[in-house]
Each structure stands twice: as C-alpha cells, then as structure tokens.
Structure 1
Amino acid sequence: MTTPPSDAEARRAIPPVICYPNETLPQPDLPVYRAALESAAVIETILAQPRNACSFAVPAGHFFRISSVEGPQVGDLNLWNAQDLSERFYSGKTRALHGTHVTTGERLWSSFPNLRPMATIVEDSLDWYGIDAFGGSVHDVIGTRCDPYTGNLLAGTQYHHCCHSNLTRALAVARQMSVEEAETHVHDVLNVFMCTGFTRDTGQYFMKASPVRPGDQITFFAEIDLLGALSACPGGDCSAQHSSDTAECHPLKVEVLAPATGALGDWQSPPPNGYDRTHGV
C-alpha cells in the first residue's frame, strides 16, 4: 500500500457535498394519490411464480401493488414505457436523485432523453425499516439483477432461472419477440423487498435476510403508460444466496388498480424532459 501523505487525515476529514440536491425536484401530490388509492378497485391480479417472472400493463393514472403472499421473497422489477420500450426505468439516475434505496414519496425515473417520473411510491409497508446498523435498507437501486453471465464468470454455471433470464422470457412473451431481442431491453432493476447495502470496510455490495412478511406490500402510481415485469428471485429472501435452486422461494402478487372517475382531479401525465437536445451544437 502507498505510504499516506502527511495531510492524509485532513483530506479524509473534508465533509461531503450532495451531488444532486433534490429540493427542487417536482413533487408528487401524495394526498391526491392516496385519496384516489382509497377508492381504487383491483382490475387485474397476476402472480410471479417462484424462480419465474410475470408481465403486467398499467395505464397512466392507475396503480400497481406488489405483495408478499406466502413467505419472505424479494423481486426484481423492470419498467418500460408501454408505447416505447426505449424509455425504461433508469436505476442509476433514480439512485443519484433519491439515494441507494427508495420508499414512500420517491419516484422511479426514466432513461434519457425523457428523464421523467415513471412511477411514484404511494405506500410502503416496510418504510419503518430505515437504515440498520450494518448500513442495510430495503428496496434498493444499487444491485443490477442476478444473471447467468456473472454466474458463468464466477462459477462456470449455466443457470437459466436467475432474474435477468426470467425478465427476458417474460418480456419476450408479453411482446411476442425473440428472447434475443427481449434481452436487449432488460435493464437494471428496482430490487423490491430486498435488504442490501455496502460493507463499511471493503465497500462490497451485500444482501441480508429481507424483513418482508406475507401481507407486506409496496404500491406505485403509474405516471405514464407502463409495461412491467417482475421476477420472483431464485434467492428467496436473499438471506444466503441467489441464482439457486435450493433457496426457499415464494410467489409475489401484482395487482393493478383503477381509481374512481375524477379521483385524480386535474392530474396530467408528466411530459418528457425539457432539455432541447442540441448538446451545444
């Protein structure tokens, strides 16, 4: 290791600055959303079976809810603009704007050039968890999704029921496309119910047993027309491993809910980002 300079401690002691202060972000009208949710009716229910994925469509101005139904289980969520798959959930920018984990009142943002809210978290039954003594929290936007390529790299395996492959198959079926084409649209996820963080000594991504229990749920408001895919991770509650056929796994339930007519008042779907896209040319 390089010998520390004489002012090493002074350099370490410089206080941090938030990269993207978010006080000026457009804020969702949560009271309106919550009031609309109270009268909303379930119009579709879909199950993501263990070690598999489901797809679902949510019109703008509707809600979708992900629930634990049988036992502790985490899920990997992809979202796309239902009219244009090139606009998809941007986990990196969501992380930069809100932090490593998201909860009530925070939003899932879409990819460039649109960069607009795709979905807003209206309710989260695990919002009590906060950040634990290990630096862990729930619903992360730091993990990428378990995938067969990393498994092959690290262990020489050919595993087909990791979340990346599950999401690929679900999108292929939903859009009647080949798995090769579908795979190009699968992207970094929101790890629903997953409890994760970074180790303090080595900065490595860690997972630990999820606090989710049957009845826990997270509910989103669709800001634009959405196509979603949710994988019930082969790691179960991710207490020990993922990409596994031995971990105890359970299904996850997705419900799509329609609000009563007029319940959202004058709400309008957010337009694409206002940057003029000239890039200085």
Structure 2
Amino acid sequence: MEPKDADARRAVAPVICYPTDDLPAPDLALYRKAAEGARVVETVIVPPRDAAYVEIPAGSLLRITSVEGPQVGDLNLFNAHDLSERFYSGKTRALHGTHVTTGDRLWSSFPALRPMATVVEDTLHWYGIDAYGGSVHDVIGTRCDPYTGNLLSGSQYHHCCHSNLTRALAGARNLSLDEAERHVHDVLNVFMCTGFTRDTGQYFMKASPVRPGDYIELLAEIDLLAVLSACPGGDCGAEHSSDTAACHPLRMECRQPAEGALRGWAPPPVNGYDRSHGT
C-alpha cells in the first residue's frame, strides 16, 4: 500500500554522486591538434563475429571505424605491461554518465584509477539522447556472453563478445583460454545504442546509427593493449548473439602524432591514495 507521503518522497531532488568540477580535465584542444597531423602506423581489421587486438603506445591514438555497414563493437583496454590494470566501466559511468563521447575519459581499475584514454573525436556525438532514452557508446552493458545465453536459453554459442575477447587476449599474450578469461572485463560498447526502459528499468538496445566512415578516436594516456570484438549482433537492432544477423568488420588504427605535437604532455601517474592506512 502506498504511503500518504509517497509523492513527496518521490519529489525529493537528486544529488550527483560524484561532482566532477574538480576532476582534472584533458587538454582537448592539444589532443585534437595532435590528432590532425597524426599518421597511421598500424591497421587491424576485426572480422565479423570475431576479435582482434592492437598495441597503442602512450600519446598515440586509437581510431575505431565502421567500414562496410552498421556494426557495434565491444572494447577491452589493458595496461600493456600489466593486465591487472584494466578499463573500469563502472567508475567511468559514475564519473561521466551512461554513455561517453568527445572529452570524456576512460578510467582504469583500482588501485591505479587513472585515465587510460580520452575520447578525442566522435562522429556520432550529434546523436545525443533520443526519445527512448537511448544514446551511443555505452558503459552500462557488460558484453554478450555464453554463460547468460546458456542461462536464458540453454544455448552453447561460442562467438559471443566475451568468447571473442577471451580468444584474442589469449593470442595477444600467449595465455591459455582459462588464464585470459580472468582478465576479460566489462566493455565500452562502441557504436552501440542503448538505454534503460522507463517503466521496468531494463537494459535495452536498438539499431545503431553508425554508418560506414563513422569513427571514435581515443588518445592513449598510458601504453595500451586494445582488444575489440565485432559483435555477432551486427548493429544490435534485434539480437546480440546470432549467426544470422548481418555483421560487418571494424577497423582499428594506431595513429602516431607528429613529433612534438604533444609537447608538455605526460602519462598520468597512478592514483595518489595512500593504501598504507588501509582501504
């Protein structure tokens, strides 16, 4: 039974959990200028329903591009020298919101908790938030995986993004599949259009607005290992674990700014919290 003051309780104004006024901001103008004159030093094509990896040195750029048709991708980021420092989607979401775009940063896991990368350019920035509450490049989805598929439908599907990322990471670092799987983590859903329903609060997806030529570009704040899966759901307009959805490759490029283009810039240090006093 609803209490008499139910409306009053619902009307309480929200408070932002993590005000970001004092959060160190990237020098986006510097980053964009560096990106203008950057040259491609490596290109990797991610096949449909598969994954691939590329190394991105600190101060270089990772550009992910739609090349043939609407396609979303699941991105894992690691410190190239220490797989235990990885992309922390939950903290990124808490700081920047459910979806990221130009100027937002991708943060790493504890105890480092520092920017791993900064979004320098996003050709889908125009999309904003649609009438359903959907937006692009989410940090709320976990990645399609075979365990949930088995739980919900008893399927044994081996080309989920989780499985693809596991195989690619194993190949990148000469790990067994069991070893690699422990490091695969919640993703940046590149180009994916998602949100939460207002009535039930359920995570939804809809056909991505991405088209060939659209891209998102990140500046690597530290040496990165980037692992990307081309989702088996294609544009995720109907399902995200499928051998029948139209799927397309994605392109990853490592782009190197001209010498001196980032003069004065340095990789961020690890978080300054003193753990000697206890967590």
Is TM-score (shorter-chain normalized) higher than 0.5?
Answer: yes
* Corresponding position of 1:130: 128
Amino acid at match of 2:251: K
Deviation readout 1:119-167 (Å, 9 max, x if unpaired): 0000000000000000000000000000000000000011000000000
Percentage of matched positions with identical amino acids: 75
Aligned with residue 22 of structure 1, among 12, 20, 23: 20
Q: Aligned partners of 1:243 and 1:48: how far apart in 2?
A: 17
* Corresponding position of 1:76: 74
Which SS does the other structure have where 1:278 is aligned? helix
* Corresponding position of 2:242: 244
Q: Aligned partners of 1:62 and 1:31: how far apart in 2?
A: 15
* Corresponding position of 1:260: 258
- The 5 A counterparts of 1:187-266 are 187-266=185-264
* Corresponding position of 2:166: 168
Amino acid at match of 2:274: D
Aligned with residue 48 of structure 1, among 46, 49, 53: 46
Q: Aligned partners of 1:279 and 1:165: how far apart in 2?
A: 39
Amino acid at match of 1:150: T
TM-score, normalization by structure 1? 0.98
CA drift of 1:23 comes to 1.1
* Corresponding position of 1:148: 146
* Corresponding position of 1:178: 176
CA drift of 1:280 comes to 4.3
Deviation readout 1:52-95 (Å, 9 max, x if unpaired): 00011000010010000000000000000001000000000000
Which SS does the other structure have where 2:40 is aligned? strand
Q: Runs of 4+ in structure 1 displaced over 3 angstroms?
A: none
Deviation readout 1:78-115 (Å, 9 max, x if unpaired): 00000100000000000000000000000000000000
Deviation readout 1:198-241 (Å, 9 max, x if unpaired): 00000000000000000000000000000010000000000000
CA drift of 1:242 comes to 0.9
Which SS does the other structure have where 1:158 is aligned? coil
Q: Aligned partners of 2:197 and 2:52: how far apart in 1?
A: 32
Q: Aligned partners of 2:109 and 2:16: how far apart in 1?
A: 22
TM-score, normalization by structure 2? 0.99
Unaligned 5+ segments in structure 2 are: none
Which SS does the other structure have where 1:128 is aligned? helix
- The 5 A counterparts of 1:90-129 are 90-129=88-127
Amino acid at match of 1:153: L
Q: Aligned partners of 1:194 and 1:224: how far apart in 2?
A: 25
Q: Aligned partners of 2:6 and 2:103: how far apart in 1?
A: 40
Q: Aligned partners of 2:176 and 2:54: how far apart in 1?
A: 18
